[in-house]
Chains A and B, each alone.
Chain A
Amino acid sequence: MGTNTHFPDPSVVREELIQKYPAKVAKKRAKSIIINDPQIIPEVQANVRTVPGIITQRGCSYAGCKGVVLGPTRDIVNIVHGPIGCSFYAWMTRRNQTRTESLTDANYIPYCFSTDMQEENVVFGGEKKLKQAIQEAYDLFHPKSIAIFSTCPVGLIGDDVHAASREMREKFGDCNVFGFSCEGYRGVSQSAGHHIANNGVFKHMVGRDNTPSEGKFKLNLLGEYNIGGDAFEIERIFEKAGLTLISSFSGNSTIKQLENSHTADLNVIQCHRSINYMGDMMETKYGIPWMKVSFVGAESSAKSLRKIAEYFDDDALRAQVEAVIAEEMPRVKAVIDEILPRTTGKTAMLFVGGSRAHHYQDLFTELGMTTVAAGYEFAHRDDYEGRDVLPTIKIDADSKNIEELKVLPDPELYNPRKTEAELEALKEKGLEINGYSGMMQQMTKKSLVVDDLSHYESEKLIEIYKPDIFCAGIKEKYVVQKMGVPLKQLHSYDYGGPYTGFEGAVNFYKDIDRMVNNPVWKLIKAPWQKKVATNGVSKGLEASYVTQ
């Protein structure tokens, strides 16, 4: 299996993927299935509606807002205004780990709060019940903040969660209550919810605490949600390197950290898709530049640390960063050297998220594996093609519904951390300052890029390419594994991790080695079934309707 030279002809693959669709659907899907050329990056149709009836990986706006961005902050009481399900399904299922300083510090992550809207609330309005719920949460817990999340029916019946929040905030005086209009039908995927969450956190939290922060090299880590302890590992590395993390957005974070985050001098962005709005808005209002980094992969982590040192332009920091890398790398190398012979030459497919399908390619490269096809679940064109295409992206009706905040420099707090000239100089050194060059520039020529991959397409791809590992989420996990191909979950990490930083790279190498070389895949056929197989090994990789 798989090195570059054995790729199937991608244009044939593309035809194969769309031939079963009704004509209109095929025409639409064709624009999202692209043969890559890193030199002349072709346009990918992304962030458009999923065709009804297509089995998609995507979720909703609420999931992106409450589940992804706001969920990981431990001391906010997140009340979901709606019928019970929405809050129930987002209850701890994303594995955002958090670590309080003491056993009595606020941590509401293990709790699920809902207004459990009933029929009479839908018919006669639910605001009264919502206010009652907010009051009860306040009386029971006295939290610093309560956030309200609107679900589908709330938007339709016209409950004003913002007015209710304002009223209760004023009533309490010591509890910041704010709402999010993140109804599931907004936008075309979780992505809309990320944007709505960014707006809300920016409006209601960032900048509320002007206490000057300590530390020489102060930064925020944006788009890191501490799944499986990823943020813990990055925190460990930052501390070792002498970097001061003011706030993460939002893994292992607290209200106080977010409110004080504008005192940092740099925003580094890990997940571009979910948090780039925040980077832009903080730059405009406070003059904090943002820089794209990735701590997924040992080499990427080293590279990102060096970029941060370059940004702060301090020789002592540069030296400290080099010392950290020099100390961390040997144990990483010891593991990869041992594993590499067993993983080299194998192939991977990644269809996940809005940044992960890019980041994790670095880890597969470190494992000597080739990514033959990749795509995002809810990304936009800039995540594929790079931010240079931003001016050419057409704003459609679904995107227009998501508020764009009008942000201006803060009359008192705006303080450009770097001059234009300094920023230009940093960019010339290869730092992605306020920029991101996207996934496709990194992928090989003739690899396949597919946005919003459907279930049907995934089975076809597996049948054609027979990859050694497929990366996606829980809904895809057992489908792919039934075909005899291991699936690595890159939302929940199959309950392992962390996968960031140096420790994370080691974890990932070991997990992938274990998965692609697991003897179970050779046990699928019973001895009496093997007699009929040509080589005594399961041929596997079949999907019922593909072969029918």
Chain B
Amino acid sequence: MLLRHTSKEVKEREGLTINPAKTCQPIGAMYAALGIHGCLPHSHGSQGCCSYHRSTLTRHYKEPVMAATSSFTEGASVFGGQANLLAAIDTIFSVYEPDIIAVHSTCLSETIGDDLQQITRKANDDGKIPEGKRVIFASTPSFIGSHVTGYANMVTGIAQQFAVSTGAKKNQINIVAGWMEPSDMREIKRLAKELGVKIVLFPDTSDVLDAPQTGKHEFYPKGGTTIPELESIGDSLHSIALGSISAEPAAIALEKKCKVPFETLEVPIGLTATDRFIMSLSEIGGVTVPDEITADRGRLVDVIADMEQYLYGKRVALFGDPDQLVPLTEFLLDLNMKPVQIVSGTPGQRFEKTMREILDARSPETKFKNGIGADMFLLHQWMKNEPVDLLIGNTYGKYMARDEDVPFIRFGFPILDRIGHSYFPNVGYSGGLRLVEKILTALLDRQDRDALEEKFELVM
């Protein structure tokens, strides 16, 4: 047994987190900043933060992940990191020539009280920011929230610091991307194009973290939301935030600054969340849904109907991030499955309330916990007490899956041991189809593996 010290007996813990179902804010900020074209993320803290975040993102995407660091030493930690950040800005613009530096803070710089707004203003006053270049920032203390919070904070920083209201409205709709993969962002753009609605998607990591092999390393890949696009979001007709935790704060900031009205939806994972997204985008954009999209939807429903016997009643344990877990839970319920155990390390009462509403209506017996104490150790204990048929979560789940001999689907962040998430979306109807295919393959492979010889089926 890999996790041989995990006992069945659940005891309340107050001090110790074991096998977390979250990580810290700055990595989310780094990921979000990679979704801006020509942007170099910058970690204002010790070298280790930047190194760990780059390593984790690199392992997840198998792609270059460029970011710089303020390289704090003990001196900087005592006297403040202003000198380090000013020096970093100078070095970065000279050597790496980005259009934008997106600075995020760390637990170290937050604890000593470095004020990123003041330091970046000073950089500007001191002439360290070349003409036409930008330095933006987000405060991302690691001791609050999770990586999802950090993503939200950076996206909010992007909206606040780029959006301009010219007074002339543009016939376009903002889509604030919640934490999703490059493949998902590409799919959102494809769906909007198919609908015939002009959108600005931000951030957008497609063509950044799924770059082709060309024999040339593009330090700033061709993808990412551009500065003119980001400046234009203040003139858009409307915003749709995909994800109440990771995307909505940016939409709120934009409404405050530029009076762009917004609506918050879930990340369109699964059938009904995609339905809501398509309805909303078509209504706001004033278009009718084309037949192609309706047919895509029909194909997904068709597969669910055809294979319902294999899905019905299957007990699923899940762990991951709020804006994925909410629509995924809903989708599993639509599939007639039973999401029975769910944890997320990301805190938040709103997330808890949304989950409880969904579960109370359709699966009141489900165990759900988020925030402090909601870790994979607890989930594993639940699984030991009430076995499940399927586990869905990031790569770390493979240890529990192996120990408990449960089929496992990789979903979420980080996925360190498989490819696919960068290239094949989970959102939209095609993403739903992919998820159903994965679920069925996992379950049916298990049925094949375990079937007695006389019960081994050719046709399923």
Chain A residues with a Cβ under 8 A of chain B: 20-22, 25, 49-63, 79, 82-91, 93, 103-104, 106-108, 110-119, 121-122, 129-137, 139-141, 151-153, 155-157, 183-189, 397-398, 401, 454-456, 459, 473-475, 477-484, 524-525, 538-545
Contacts and interface: CB of A to CB of B under 8 A. Distances in A.
Given A54-B71, A115-B15, A483 B49 contact: no
A262 B103 CA distance: 48
Interface residues of B, number: 89
A475 B16 contact: no
A340 to B, nearest CB: 28
B45 interface: yes
A329 B24 CA distance: 49
Nearest to A62: B48
A79 B16 contact: yes
A88 B5 contact: no
Contacts of B48: 59-63, 86, 184
B77 A156 contact: yes
A85 B27 contact: yes
Interface string B16-28: 1111101111110
B111 A152 contact: yes
B69 A157 contact: no
Going nearest first, the 6 A-B pairs with the smallest beta carbon separation are A60-B48, A85-B24, A132-B15, A53-B91, A53-B88, A133-B15
A151 B214 contact: no
Interface string B57-75: 0110011111111111111
B19 A84 contact: no
Contacts of B18: 111-113
Contact of B24 (A62, A83, A189): A83
A115 B17 contact: yes
A51 B46 contact: no
A56 B91 contact: no
Nearest to B108: A152
Given A49-B71, A85-B52, 19 more contacts: A21-B91, A52-B71, A52-B84, A56-B47, A58-B51, A82-B107, A86-B52, A93-B56, A111-B18, A114-B20, A116-B20, A119-B141, A131-B15, A136-B13, A153-B108, A155-B77, A184-B72, A184-B108, A473-B55
B312 interface: no
Interface string B23-41: 1111100000000000000
A103 to B, nearest CB: 7
B2 A87 contact: no
B146 to A, nearest CB: 7
Contacts of A524: 213-215
Contacts of B102: none
A49 B64 CA distance: 24
Nearest to A190: B48
Residue of B97, B106, B213 with most chain A CB atoms under a 10 A cut-off: B213
Nearest to A193: B48
B87 interface: yes
B65 A55 contact: no
A107 to B, nearest CB: 7
Contacts of B279: none
11 contacts: A25-B94, A52-B69, A60-B46, A84-B17, A85-B52, A89-B52, A91-B19, A116-B20, A152-B77, A538-B215, A544-B220
A85 B16 contact: no
A495 to B, nearest CB: 9
Interface of B: 1-5, 7, 11, 13-20, 22-27, 42, 45-49, 51-56, 58-59, 62-77, 84-85, 87-92, 94-97, 106-108, 111-112, 141-144, 146-147, 211, 213-220, 345, 372, 377, 396, 399, 416
B144 to A, nearest CB: 5
A187 B46 CA distance: 10
Given A51-B87, A58-B47, A135-B15, A122 B143 contact: yes
A398 B46 CA distance: 14
A482 B111 contact: no
Contact of B19 (A57, A111, A477): A111
Contacts of A139: 11
Contacts of B22: 84, 88
B94 to A, nearest CB: 5
Contacts of A56: 47, 51, 69, 71
B237 to A, nearest CB: 36
Contact of A84 (B142, B217, B219): B142
Nearest to B62: A478
A21 B215 CA distance: 26
Given A50-B71, A122-B107, A540-B215, A111 B143 contact: no
Given A112-B19, A114-B20, A140-B7, A89 B56 contact: yes
A135 to B, nearest CB: 7
Contacts of A110: 2-3, 399
A91 B22 CA distance: 12
Contacts of B73: 49, 185, 187-188, 398
Residue of A63, A454, A525 with most chain B CB atoms under a 10 A cut-off: A63
B137 to A, nearest CB: 15
A397 B49 CA distance: 22
A254 B68 CA distance: 38
A134 B416 CA distance: 30
Contacts of B69: 50, 52-53, 55-56
Contacts of B141: 83, 119
B95 A20 contact: yes
Contact of B47 (A84, A104, A136, A189): A189
A107 B2 CA distance: 8
B55 A474 contact: yes
A484 B213 CA distance: 8
A89 B55 contact: yes
Nearest to B112: A156
A113 B16 contact: yes
A51 B215 contact: no
Nearest to A129: B15
Contacts of A484: 215
B23 A85 contact: yes
Contacts of A401: 74
Contacts of B143: 83, 117-119, 121-122, 153
A59 B91 contact: no
Contacts of B52: 59, 63, 85-86, 89-90
Given A53-B87, A59-B51, A184-B48, A153 B217 contact: no
Contacts of A137: 16
B214 A478 contact: no
B401 to A, nearest CB: 13
Contacts of B399: 110
B51 A20 contact: no
B96 A545 contact: yes
B77 A185 contact: yes
Given A60-B47, A63-B48, A184-B108, A55 B68 contact: yes
A137 B5 CA distance: 11
Contacts of A131: 15
Contact of A116 (B17, B64, B90): B17
Contacts of A541: 215
A64 B66 CA distance: 22
A189 to B, nearest CB: 7
B107 A152 contact: yes
Contacts of A141: 5
Contacts of B13: 136
Contacts of A132: 14-16
A63 B51 contact: yes
B96 A482 contact: no
Contacts of B27: 85
B20 A55 contact: no
B92 A545 contact: no
B107 A111 contact: no
A113 B17 contact: yes
Contacts of A20: 94-95
Contact of A50 (B45, B47, B67): B47
A55 B67 contact: yes
Contacts of A544: 216-220
